Chain A
Amino acid sequence: MAQHPVIGYFVWALLFGALFAWEGLALSHLSGSVPTLSATFRAIQRYPFGRWALFAVWLWFGWHLFVRGWHFLLRA
């Protein structure tokens, strides 16, 4: 595994932690004005460009997860 500065991993962990914390706050209804992630996605999907952008993000994830660097598992 390549050696990267620890601060880089820490920033990623912090970003994902903040994402989950924000979603948890929205789901807990402690603050009534915080929309959940699904409510945000629903609001985005009302508009064609929002749907295109979300589909592009989905494609980008799928491309990176399943296509880039992909090879047959049984290939020697």
Chain B
Amino acid sequence: MSSSLIRQDLVPIVIGYALLMGALALGLRLVRRSAPESGTAQARRPEPAHRPGPGGPRARAVIPAAPAPAQDAAPTDPGAAPAASPARRGLRALIRPGPGWPRLILHYLGTAVGGYLVLMIIIILYYYLVAPVAGNFVQSAFTGCAMLIGLTAPVFLAASWLAERTGWRF
């Protein structure tokens, strides 16, 4: 291994890794130190009415106000529930299966394909509208990213299987 490789590639990665891990360790230590204090404070006072975040108070305030779909579908007969046809039920089960491996795989596939397409759109727009990068830029993006997904998908599924099987937490 040449000294220029060490200086240009290895040293920045090691320094960046040390900085990142140091910052995370410091943050973790601060969180652990403040956890007992906040725990006793929460035990003394009741839980707050809302939490910050997109799914917080606004979502909870809006959802109950929305009309139920069953009322819209059958306004004259509120007691009768709309019976879904077997084909529709099968389609719904296919699109949104119950908890388990099919849902995990579907969720992963949706995320991977969606993310891949988003990145390819951005790269094509960048290449044709901003800067035509030299070399096989677009081709490398298509094949390289597909290769990354293909390499990591089995690892992700194996890690998920191990976590479920052994109870390990990564």
Chain A residues in the interface with B (C-beta under 8 A):
1, 20, 23-24, 27-29, 33, 35-36, 39, 43, 46-49, 51-56, 58-60, 62-63, 66-68
Contacts and interface: CB of A to CB of B under 8 A. Distances in A.
Contacts of A53: 115, 118
Interface of B: 8, 19, 23, 26-28, 30-31, 34, 38, 52-55, 110-112, 114-119, 122, 140-141, 144-145, 147-149
A20 B140 contact: no
A43 to B, nearest CB: 5
9 contacts: A29-B34, A47-B54, A52-B115, A52-B118, A53-B118, A56-B119, A63-B140, A63-B141, A68-B140
Contacts, number: 81
A52 B107 CA distance: 11
A20 B141 CA distance: 30
Contacts of B117: 52
